[in-house]
Amino acid sequence: MRMPEPDSAVIARKLQIVEALRGLVPAPGGVIFDEDELRVYETDGLTAYRQVPMIVVLPGSTEEVAAVLRYCHAEGIKIVPRGAGTGLSGGALPLADGITLGLSKLNRVLEIDYANRCVVTQPGVTNLGITRAVEAEGFYYAPDPSSQIACSIGGNIAENSGGVHCLKYGLTTNNVLGVEIVLVDGTVLRLGGKHLDAEGYDLLGVVTGSEGLLGIVTEVTVRILRKPATARALLLGFPSSEKAGDCVAAIIAAGIIPGGMEMMDRPAIHATEAFVGAGYPLDVEALLIVELDGPAAEVEHLIGRVGEIAEREGASYNRASRDEAEREAFWSGRKNAFPAVGRISPDYLCMDGTIPRGRLPEVLARMREMSERYGLRVANVFHAGDGNLHPLILYDANKPDELERTEAFGAEILKLCVEVGGVLTGEHGVGVEKRDLMGEMFDEDDLKQQQRLKCAFDPGQLLNPGKVFPELHRCAELGRLHVHRGKLPFPDLPRF
């Protein structure tokens, strides 16, 4: 994986930079520079790529974050923001000449406002931690990635994470009301708030999903919802993935929007059942988990309608949860699918692409052909309701060329997603994993326009460089000239 060439002059100043950072973040353990300790931060959830960072800094407040950014901006030092490190696209992959700025110490829920149905929290609070803070009063935070027990809300904003219930309740962007963000020069901004919508340009929408390229979020205001009166889940088994895909399309076409609708194929079903014991049927090729929520009478009616649709589409298994414990058991299998698959393969690459629901049967069939051609197994676990695929390509990194074949296989899957009218990512982000595939979806003008936005926030290209854009242009090349203290950037470039 090609990354920006490290700046040897910056690396040579490492100890000087450490001393300066210690003055800005004086708490014990706030600045890490020992090589063995740095290895903890050398990768995120995309473990195929690793790089030991030059320095890790762990600020404890917005003021310390601003001070670190102000210093790095003045000294021309690159910064890689990091949340919990659960990201799956290499968005937090460190740089050899950069500072990894971790937000794990910003981990407090600051305010719970039931009257306005929102929570104000620091970015290091876990996704599930928000729900646990409000569940005693019958509320919850809707987006629920599979890693919700560990992933941070700040990381969720960086990647615009979704989860199994995003079909009905939306992704992170649909549930964030406001943020406090520190820009690269140390300026602290507030976007949005407790109100329903922000005035002016949708800068909150720009920041959500920006993958640490525009600034560092230090406070978040999220929407919380009342728990539904009733929620029940259906397990629907099918003789093929194509049949299950047809059922997904038929349920949505009937005007039914489940709280969640997930799909697993045979390898994922067997791995998960062996790991969790959720009660999944083992004699089916594909399994749908369909959750219906709302008033009890409505849920009962919809269970019958979905069951009829599934039977018409060829379902061979139909089981509804009888109580809350059984519903949670059904979901525990899906939420533990990724670690379960890790028990049947030394390594796996978790992909993330989104397609139109109607193309699901076709895409699954073509992925099976690719699996045979590459000689690599695939376990499919994905958000069927909104077409967000998560194929897990199983490989062994110790075998020659298997990682390279896996990368090629994964790239072909993502190209297929774009080919059928979908997109490269649904919730994992671009990072380094999909960076070099951006040209499959965007032409050069599109990419330059996106980089102009990056330049408006970060003209020096110091925030998370090497991510998202396959070829990074200097801001002056893109028609934007930023004059700072009377000095022109890139004085070596000709002016027109």
3-class secondary-structure state, position 435: helix
User: Lowest-pLDDT range, 146-150, 246-250, 471-475?
Assistant: 471-475
| Distance from chain centroid for Cα 134 | 23
Confidence check: pLDDT of 74 > 70:
yes
Q: What is the pLDDT of residue 94?
A: 98
Q: What is the pLDDT of residue 343?
A: 92
Q: Tell me the C-alpha distance between 59 and 25, whole Å.
A: 6
- Half-sphere exposure in the Cβ direction for 109 (13 Å, CA): 15
Confidence check: pLDDT of 225 > 80:
yes
Q: What is the pLDDT of residue 479?
A: 67
* Residue pair 61/68 in contact by the 8 Å Cβ criterion: no
Mean pLDDT for the chain overall: 94
Q: How confident is the model at residue 2 (pLDDT cuts 50, 70, 90)?
A: confident
* Residue pair 376/405 in contact by the 8 Å Cβ criterion: yes
What is the secondary structure of 318-385 as a DSSP string?
EEE--SHHHHHHHHHHHHTHHHHHTTSSSEEEE--EE--GGGHHHHHHHHHHHHHHHT--EEEEEBGG
Write the pLDDT tens digit of every residue in 430-461.
999 999 999 999 999 999 999 999 999 999 99
Handedness of CA 9, 10, 15, 19 (dihedral sign): positive
CA distances from 319 to 98, 235, 303, 311 (A): 53, 5, 10, 12
Please report where in the chains the tokens 């790991």 appear, as a residue: 275
Q: Hey, what amino acid is at 396? A: D
Structural element, H or E, at residue 241: helix 241-253
Do strands 225-226 and 139-140 pair parallel, antiparallel, or not at all (unpaired)?
antiparallel
Q: How confident is the model at residue 495 (pLDDT cuts 50, 70, 90)?
A: very low
The pair of structure tokens assigned to 484 is 């700072």
Write the pLDDT tens digit of every residue in 188-218.
999 999 987 777 899 999 999 999 999 999 9
* Residue pair 77/17 in contact by the 8 Å Cβ criterion: yes
Q: How confident is the model at residue 489 (pLDDT cuts 50, 70, 90)?
A: low
Residues with Cβ within 8 Å of 451's Cβ and at least 6 positions away in sequence, in order, are 469, 472, 473, 475, 478
Q: What is the mean pLDDT of residues 413-434?
A: 97
Write the pLDDT tens digit of every residue in 229-282.
999 999 999 999 989 999 999 999 999 999 999 999 999 999 999 999 999 999
At how many degrees (to 10) do helices 324-335 and 266-276 cross? Answer: 120
3-class secondary-structure state, position 179: strand
Q: Tell me the C-alpha distance between 442 and 377, whole Å.
A: 30
Confidence check: pLDDT of 488 > 60:
no
Q: What is the pLDDT of residue 4?
A: 87
Q: What is the pLDDT of residue 331?
A: 95
Write the pLDDT tens digit of every residue in 3-43.
889 999 999 999 999 999 999 999 999 999 999 999 999 99
Q: What number of helices (H) and strands (E) belong to the chain?
A: 17, 20
Q: What is the pLDDT of residue 496?
A: 38
CA distances from 377 to 45, 411, 459 (A): 20, 15, 44
pTM of the model: 0.92
Percent of the chain whose predicted confidence (pLDDT) is above 90:
90
Confidence check: pLDDT of 485 > 80:
no
Confidence check: pLDDT of 483 > 70:
no
Confidence check: pLDDT of 493 > 90:
no
